Amino acid sequence: MDPHLGQGYVVLDVSDAYDEEYFEIKIFERFYNSEGYSDELIEHYELAGKNYKKIPREYINNGVYLLQAIAHTNDGEVVSDKYDLDMRPYGWGPEDGFSLAATFKCNGPDYAWEIDQLYDDNSGTSYFSLSPAVKQPNQDNPNAPVIPYYRYFSSSAFATFQQAMPENDFNGTDVRAPNPYYGASDNDINTTVSPDVIKLQNSSNKNYYNVNGNLITSNSVYGVRKSLGKWAKGYANHTTDYYTLSPLTSNDRPVAMNKIDQNDNNNGDLIPDMECSANPNDPNCPSDWDWVDHEEDFERNDTIIWPWDILKDADDLIHEVPGGENFYQNYVSFSITSVSDLSGTMCSFDVSSWVESGDTTQNFGLSPGLYCVNLQTKEEGYVPIIMNVKGDGDNQNTNTLASKLTTKIYPNPIQEDYFYINLKSSYSEELVTIYRLYDFDGNLIYESEIELTAYENVDIEVEPEVGIPQGVLVNTFTFSDGSQIQKLTMK
């Protein structure tokens, strides 16, 4: 996940799981000259025990800063390419002397694009940039949090969509995967990782329609982040040549679309001509939701979490006038999803049933990490808030035995009465842990001692004799030095 959707956080993808010892993140500033450009290193971070980092706002969407990630492994270094640190893909940052003059959005059935006109008042020239559209509350502040547009699926249609990968041709640059046709990878879609892929509770307060314009009636609604769709097949940077052209008006959408088409044709990029088909969710191409930009981090210093307090704090954060004691009436459902280790949904609540039950004082533990607080509002739809559960995570003692073990529990949610755990040791000696599985009330379901050889990477099956109950499950890994890993899963 990049800062575009991570509200300033970069999350490094560890799904391919080489045996990394630690990560580095480097930030470069690019300087242009008569011979081209040069990159100067200006920031350097080392990440031990985690795969995410909050990037200072001054480096984001400036147009001249780039990020590079390095994984240090037992076999050497794995170095990424350099990526623009832009809140909008494709290096949106305006060129010197240019400023944003007009924006045209189209939220189509399975795509969402934005064309920006950048204008230089001194020369009277313009150029245009095509990028995936997002809901951005404040055009004057490109660092403000953003919310994607989604294609919605019923439960059965989403299951079919998952099963179609990787054979389905999504018309992207790689027919084996949905990205870049959609703004989500096949891994995101298979693990339902917000905010690229979301799961919502269907509600009479909010109507959801599928790609054909039919109302979705299943209890759950899934959303996959829209991107450029069939226009992602062209070259990576959809930026046009210069034109002598004054700032356009809101009625000039066809002019902006034509400039993108004209530029693609001139450069031999055989992508389809631009179009804006009616979106069944909003045929008039929706405007952005005007919410409060929050610059402060949404953090928790304790790994013991009270969901009711999180919902209240999130409501205070995103609304200029908080809802008071009846704030919960703004929401249909609320959930917390892990985004730093792809372990899925930690908890989920139907807000009205939750309030009626009177059980809003419950709490549970979360491992230090990065999570998404998923708010389903009655008026605005889905709103994500990135939450950093620090615990001792940002000052993690890398000398503990717990820091030497990486775990991934799958599938999550659990479908049967068994599941799997991937265990990866970065320890140079034998590593022993006691694994325990509890239900949400603290009843022990399963216990096992696990021994790993030096640097071992293994998958084990867990199948409790008593079966696995429905609901939230607590997984703990306890070590001889007293350190512990705790993760939540669901069935």
Residues in the chain: 491
- pLDDT single digits (tens) 2-27: 666 677 788 876 655 445 567 888 99
Question: Does 205 score more than 60 pLDDT?
Answer: yes
**118 by DSSP, 3-state: which?**
strand
Question: Does 277 score more than 70 pLDDT?
Answer: yes
- Pairwise pLDDT comparison (446 vs 356), residue with the higher score: 446
**CATH second-level architecture of 3-84?**
Sandwich (2.60)
- Encoded amino acid at 221, one letter: V
Q: With the CA atoms of 393, 397, 403 and 404 taken in that order, what torsion angle do they form, in degrees rounded to the nearest 10? A: 150
Give the start-to-end residue ranges of the domains of the chain.
3-84, 150-225, 299-393, 397-490
Torsion sign over Cα 133, 335, 473, 394: positive
Contacts of 421 (CB under 8 A, 6+ apart): 407, 408, 409, 410, 435, 459, 460, 462, 475
Asked if 133 contacts 106 with a C-beta cutoff of 8 angstroms, the reply is yes
Flag the least confident range among 39-48, 285-294, 465-474.
285-294
CATH number, domain 397-490: 2.60.40.10
Asked if 432 contacts 451 with a C-beta cutoff of 8 angstroms, the reply is yes
d(CA 58, CA 444): 48
Name the token pair of 235: 């070259």
- Encoded amino acid at 211, one letter: V
Question: Does 128 score more than 80 pLDDT?
Answer: yes
- pLDDT single digits (tens) 393-415: 444 445 678 878 888 888 877 88
d(CA 238, CA 88): 12
Question: Does 365 score more than 90 pLDDT?
Answer: no
pLDDT reported for residue 94 = 64
Q: 366 — phi, psi (to 5°)? A: -125, 140
DSSP label at residue 408: E
pLDDT reported for residue 417 = 92
State the pLDDT confidence band at 136, using cuts at 50, 70 and 90.
Answer: low
pLDDT reported for residue 119 = 92
Question: Does 92 score more than 70 pLDDT?
Answer: no
Asked if 81 contacts 28 with a C-beta cutoff of 8 angstroms, the reply is no
d(CA 136, CA 144): 7
DSSP label at residue 278: P
d(CA 136, CA 140): 10
Name the token pair of 350: 């139907």
CA-nearest of 46, 54, 2, 4 to 21 is 46
- pLDDT single digits (tens) 414-427: 888 999 998 988 88
- Does this model's pTM top 0.85? no
How far from chain centre, in Å, is Cα 322?
A: 26
DSSP label at residue 341: S
d(CA 178, CA 176): 7
Asked if 69 contacts 23 with a C-beta cutoff of 8 angstroms, the reply is yes
pLDDT reported for residue 394 = 40
State the pLDDT confidence band at 236, using cuts at 50, 70 and 90.
Answer: very low
Flag the least confident range among 302-311, 355-364, 471-480.
355-364
Q: 190 — phi, psi (to 5°)? A: -75, -25
pLDDT reported for residue 21 = 64
Determine whether 433 is exposed, middle or buried from the number of CB atoms within 10 Å of its CB (0-12, 13-18, 19+).
Answer: buried
Torsion sign over Cα 264, 265, 270, 275: positive
d(CA 34, CA 49): 43
Q: Where are the beta strands (DSSP E) in 174-219?
A: 197-201
pLDDT reported for residue 452 = 93
Q: Over the chain, what is the mean pLDDT? A: 77
d(CA 86, CA 57): 10
d(CA 404, CA 430): 11
Q: Interior CA angle at 457 toward 452 and 459, to 5°?
A: 90
Question: Does 242 score more than 60 pLDDT?
Answer: yes
pLDDT reported for residue 17 = 46
- pLDDT single digits (tens) 30-69: 887 777 788 889 888 888 777 888 887 777 766 678 888 8
Average pLDDT over residues 238-254: 88
- pLDDT single digits (tens) 427-461: 888 999 999 998 877 789 999 999 999 888 899 99
pLDDT reported for residue 172 = 41
pLDDT reported for residue 280 = 57
pLDDT reported for residue 404 = 83
Contacts of 363 (CB under 8 A, 6+ apart): 304, 305, 306, 307
Residue 44: strand pairing partners:
26
pLDDT reported for residue 9 = 84
- Pairwise pLDDT comparison (421 vs 272), residue with the higher score: 421
d(CA 315, CA 324): 9
CA-nearest of 112, 150, 118 to 131 is 112
Q: Where are the alpha helices (DSSP H) in 93-202?
A: 155-163, 186-191
pLDDT reported for residue 246 = 93
pLDDT reported for residue 451 = 94
- pLDDT single digits (tens) 321-339: 656 677 888 888 888 888 8
DSSP label at residue 160: H
Asked if 170 contacts 322 with a C-beta cutoff of 8 angstroms, the reply is no
Name the token pair of 40: 């100067």
pLDDT reported for residue 227 = 85
Whether 3-84 and 397-490 share one fold: the answer is yes
pLDDT reported for residue 290 = 43
The C-alpha R_g of the chain, in whole angstroms, comes to 24
